[in-house]
Structure 1
Amino acid sequence: MSKPRLFIHMRDPELAEKLLQSPVVRQFIIVKSSDSSAWSEQLQQQECDLAFIESDESDNDDYQRLLVSKVLTEIDFIFISSGTPNELLDKLMRRGAGYHFRAPLDLGSVIDTLQDFYQQLSTERKQVKATSSELDQFGLLVGSSKPMLKLYRTIRKVAVTEANVLIIGESGAGKELIANTLHLASLRANQPFVAINCGALSPELIDSELFGHIKGSFTGAHRDHQGVFSQAEGGTLFLDEITEMPIEQQVKLLRVLENGEFRPVGSEKTLTANVRIAAATNRDPMQAIAEDALREDLYFRLAQFPICVPPLRQRAEDIVGLAQHFLAYRNVQEQQTKKFSADAEALIANHGWPGNVRELKHAVERAYILADAIIEPDHLLLDEPLNCAESDGLCDAVPTGVRLDELEKAAILSTLAKNGGNKTDTAQQLGVSVKTLYNKLEKYQLDN
């Protein structure tokens, strides 16, 4: 088993010498930067697991390159700097780059961090080698790619704290699974995990859903109702699609996060919230703030620790393994032994998956329904939708002998996948309300 590789870019010769003489650093395979090109460009050409960068005000171009490079999702970083504020470096930290040590430098802390990385990277290499035929799993997450192993490390570190977490990632990337895994790895694991989708709530009922209400507080309040802050008491509350919550309710949520108190609708009694908040968005938070979809003060309350979720296209080595994982799960449920053909696996590996893991899972679900023993490329339905005007009619494309609920489920899956997980567009195309779509997703347990 090869050792982890450490890329080093240093400007201070004395500090570089101390670092290179450290027994911890000598455990790594060292890759030194050269003067031939910018260190960010060298990183894109080198194979390494961790980068140690001594940065200064001249590195803005390197920061810009990292922000648009897949390197940021593949490896961890340790930056050291003079401490002068730098907006681009701060943005890298928010994207989950790793550690930023500021002068005056505590070399002991830096060495301890390097030792921690070495142990983690060495353990992961052993695990990947020992389970090369299957993907690794951490909590509810599955994957062995570098971006996923980095994500596991991040979750392990933040899970044992009480910091609020903002999970940022594209639709279908698995943000709720990350929140649930965070909960399972935390000290609150034996308490409730409660998830609520802010985009699926009626504006008139958000206060009641969040904080609860007492009987008779408004028309239709025929009994007392516990809001999600009470339901999640002692545990974790997951607020999905936080940018879809109206600004008025964001103000009320901010008050709870600031003082830990809330009052059910119609009640004069103030309650104390004991929950950890994990929120999620598929939008760039800074853009959402600029568009007045997210309050800046709420963002900073929620994003005590931001977690960026890698899209599936940045996890290429996981894609076929994930498809096999979903297929194996269905085989166990249905007591079947269906398999992918080589051509189907090739199609899965080469598809772009704009809908991320959700789209992949739904494609496998569709194929499972349509295939007999062997799943072929046509069963995955990854080509353009059938043009009914050019066909012999829609009925000819519908398989016979399939239960109506399975057909409805397949229609939802297919439309969601084609829309990249966008529920509003999906509901419009299916001719139902967004609320009805959410009810169907809950019925079929597809909203993940």
Structure 2
Amino acid sequence: MSKPRLFIHLRDPELAEKLLQSPAVRQFVIIKSSDSSAWSEQLQQQECDLAVIESDECDNDDYQRLLVSKILTEIDFIFISSGTPNELLDTLMRRGAGYHFRAPLDFGSVIDTLQDFYQQLSTERKQVKATSSELDQFGMLVGSSKPMLKLYRTIRKVAITEANVLIVGESGAGKELVANTLHLASLRADKPFVAINCGALSPELIDSELFGHIKGAFTGAHRDHQGVFAQAEGGTLFLDEITEMPIEQQVKLLRVLENGEYRPVGSDKTFTANVRIAAATNRDPMHAIAEDMLREDLYFRLAQFPVAVPSLRDRDEDIIGLAQHFLAYRNVQEQQSKQFSAEAQTLIATHSWPGNVRELKHAVERAYILADNTIEPEHLLLDEPHIDANDDSVADAIPTGVRLDELEKAAILRTLAKNGGNKTDTAQQLGVSVKTLYNKLEKYQLER
């Protein structure tokens, strides 16, 4: 079994000498940076697992390269700096880069962190070698690519704490699975995991959904109702699509996070919340704050520990394995032995998968239904042409003389079906809020 590889870029010769003499560091295969090119460019050309970077004010170009490169999802970083504020470095930390040690440096903490990483990386390499024919699994997550192994390490670190977690990732990347895995790896695993979609909360009933109500609190309150804070008592509360909650309602959530207390609607009794909060969004939190979709004070309460979920294109070595995983699951369920043809596997490997793992899973399930024994490319239904909403051909394709509400209903039905029933993605593609989509579904009685 090969050793984990450590990339080192240190400007202080004394610190470099001290670090290289450490037994914790000598366990790694060490790759030193050179003066031939920027350290961020060297990192992209090297095969490594961890990087120790002594940074200063001239590193902004390197930070920019990391922010747009795949390597940020693949390896962990230990940054050592003078402590001077740097917005780009802060952004890297929010994106889950790793650790940032500031001067005056606690050298012992750096060594302990390196030893921690060595043990985790060594364990992962043993597991990958032992199960080379299958994807690794951690909790509800499946994958053996570097981005996924990094995600597993991150979840292990934060799971045993009580820190609130903000999970950021594209639609379909598996944010709820990350939250569920976080719960399973925590000390609250034997308590409830409760998930709620914030975009589907009615502004009029948001207090009741979050905190509950007592019988007679308002018209239609025919019995007592437990809110999600009570339902998740002792466990984990997952707030999905937090940026879709109306911003004027977010203050109600903030109050509970600040003082830990809430009161059911119509009750004069105050309860203390004992839940761990995991929130998620498919938007960049900083952009959401700038666009008044997320309160900045709520963000800092939720993002005690940010977790970035890689997109499927950032973990492309997992794609075929995931497709085989979903197919094997269906084969077991249906007691069948269907398989992919070589051509179908090629199509799966080369498709861009903009809908991430969810799109891949739905494609495999559709193909499973359509195929007899062997899944061919045509069964995957991936060759539909993309329609640009700004293209004149869209207008040409719309039939004349059809009622507007029928056109709207058809658009909702087709988009919802294409997204496998996912309302968040459907609302995004139709250019409406999730709440508006729910209203339309109710209007056309399409909820089922």
Q: 1:11-30, aligned counterparts within 5 Å?
A: 11-30=11-30
* Superposed CA offset, 1:282-309 (max 9, x none): 0000000011010000000000000000
Mapping of residues 219-298 of structure 1, within 5 Å: 219-298=219-298
CA contact (8 A) 2:261 2:273 kept: yes
C-alpha separation in 1, matches of 2:171 and 2:298: 22
- 1 CA distance for matches of 2:372 and 2:275? 47
Amino acid at match of 1:234: G
- The alignment status of 1:434 with 2:438, answered yes or no, reads yes
The residue number in structure 1 matching 2:318 is 318
Q: Secondary structure at the match of 1:24?
A: helix
Equivalent residues, number: 419
**420, 423, 427: which one pairs with 2:426?**
423
The structure-2 alpha-carbon separation of the partners of 1:412 and 1:290, relative to structure 1 and needing over 3 Å to count, comes to closer
Instruction: Map residues 118-267 of structure 1 onto 2, 5 A cutoff.
Output: 118-267=118-267
Q: CA deviation at 1:323?
A: 0.6
User: How far apart, CA to CA, are the structure 2 residues paired with 1:200 and 1:34?
Assistant: 53
Q: Separation in 2 of the partners of 1:442 and 1:171?
A: 21
Counterpart of 1:366, as a letter, is: R
Matched residue SS, 2:237: strand
Distance 1:370 1:94 in 2: 43
Q: For 1:128, what is the secondary structure of its paired residue?
A: helix
Displacement, 1:417? 6.6
Q: Deviations over 1:301-343 (max 9, x none)?
A: 0000000000000001100100111111111111111111111
TM-aligned CA deviation for residue 248 of structure 1: 2.1
Matches within 5 A, 1:89-108: 89-108=89-108
Contact 1:79 1:101 in 2 (8 A): yes
Task: Report whether the alignment pairs 1:331 with 2:331.
Answer: yes
In 2 relative to 1, CA 22–433 (structure 1 residues): closer, same or farther, beyond 3 Å? closer
CA distance in 1, matches of 2:446, 2:380: 20
Secondary structure of the corresponding residue to residue 280 of structure 1: strand
Give yes or no for contact 2:191–2:235 (8 Å, CA) kept in 1.
Answer: yes
Q: In 2 relative to 1, CA 208–166 (structure 1 residues): closer, same or farther, beyond 3 Å? A: same
What's the CA shift for 1:434? 3.0
TM-score, structure 1 normalization: 0.89
Q: Is the 8 A contact 1:198 1:239 kept in 2?
A: yes
Q: Match of 1:361?
A: 361
* Aligned position for 2:352: 352
For residues 33-90 of structure 1, give each alpha carbon's deviation from its aligned partner in whole angstroms, at most 9, with x where no partner exists.
0101110111111111110101111111111111111111010001111111111111
Alpha carbons of 1:67 and 1:433: their partners in 2 closer, same or farther (altered >3 Å)?
Answer: closer
Cα offset, 1:427, TM superposition: 7.6
Alignment-derived partner of residue 383 in structure 1:
383
2:401 aligns with none
Gaps of 5+ in 1: 390-409, 444-448
2:390 matched residue in structure 1? none
- Separation in 2 of the partners of 1:156 and 1:32? 29
Moved over 2 A (4+): 410-414, 417-421, 425-429, 432-438, 440-443
For each residue in 1:338-360, what CA deviation from the matched residue of structure 2 results, as whole angstroms up to 9, or x when unmatched?
Answer: 11111111111110000000000
SS at structure 2 position matched to 1:269 = coil
Amino acid at match of 2:247: I
**CA distance change for structure 1 residues 80 and 386 in 2, over 3 Å: closer, same or farther?**
closer
2:108 matches 1:111:
no
Which deviates more, 148-157 or 377-386? Answer: 377-386
Distance in 2 between the 1:441 and 1:324 partners?
33
Structure 2 CA distance for aligned equivalents of residues 34 and 69 of structure 1: 20
**Whole-angstrom distance in 1 between the partners of 2:3 and 2:366:** 42
The aligned residue for residue 68 of structure 2 is 68
**CA RMSD in angstroms, aligned pairs only:** 2.4
Match in the other structure for 1:446: none
Secondary structure of the structure 2 residue equivalent to 1:422: helix
Contact persistence 2:327–2:364 (CA under 8 A): yes
CA distance in 1, matches of 2:228, 2:122: 41
1:26: how far off? 1.3
Alpha-carbon distance between aligned partners in 2 of 1:69 and 1:277, rounded to the nearest angstrom:
30
Distance 1:418 1:177, change over 3 A: closer
CA change 1:318–1:67 in 2 (3 A) is same
**CA distance, structure 2, for counterparts of residue 283 and residue 79 of structure 1:** 26
What fraction of aligned residue pairs are identical, expressed as a percent? 84
- Secondary structure of 2:52's counterpart equals strand
In structure 1, C-alpha distance between the alignment counterparts of 2:447 and 2:158, rounded to whole Å: 29
Q: Equivalent residue for 1:393?
A: none
CA distance in 1 between counterparts of 2:210 and 2:293 reads 19
What is the deviation of 1:419? 9.6
CA distance in 1, matches of 2:121, 2:343: 34
TM-score, length-normalised on structure 2? 0.89
**C-alpha spacing 1:57/1:420, structure 2 compared with 1 (3 Å):** farther
* Conserved? CA contact 1:4–1:121, under 8 Å: yes
TM-aligned CA distance change 1:435 to 1:308, over 3 Å: farther
Alignment correspondent of 2:410: none
Cα displacement string for residues 175-216 of structure 1 (whole angstroms, at most 9, x for unaligned residues): 000000000000100100000001112221111100101111
Summarize deviations over 1:86-139 as a string: whole Å, max 9, x none: 111111111000011111112111111111111111111111111111000000
Contact 2:416 2:426 in 1 (8 A): no
User: Given the superposition, is the C-alpha separation of residues 435 and 361 from structure 1 closer, same or farther in structure 2, using an over 3 Å criterion?
Assistant: farther
Gaps of 5+ in 2: 388-393, 395-412
Query: What amino acid does structure 1 have at the position aligned with 2:419?
Result: L
- Residue 3 of structure 1 and its aligned partner are, at CA, apart by 1.0
* Residues 323, 435 of structure 1: alpha-carbon distance in 2 compared, 3 angstrom cutoff: farther
Preserved CA contact (<8 Å) 1:355 1:421:
no
> Do the aligned partners of 2:76 and 2:98 also contact (CA within 8 Å) in 1?
yes
Distance 1:88 1:46 in 2: 23
The match for 1:392 is none
Q: CA deviation at 1:231?
A: 0.3
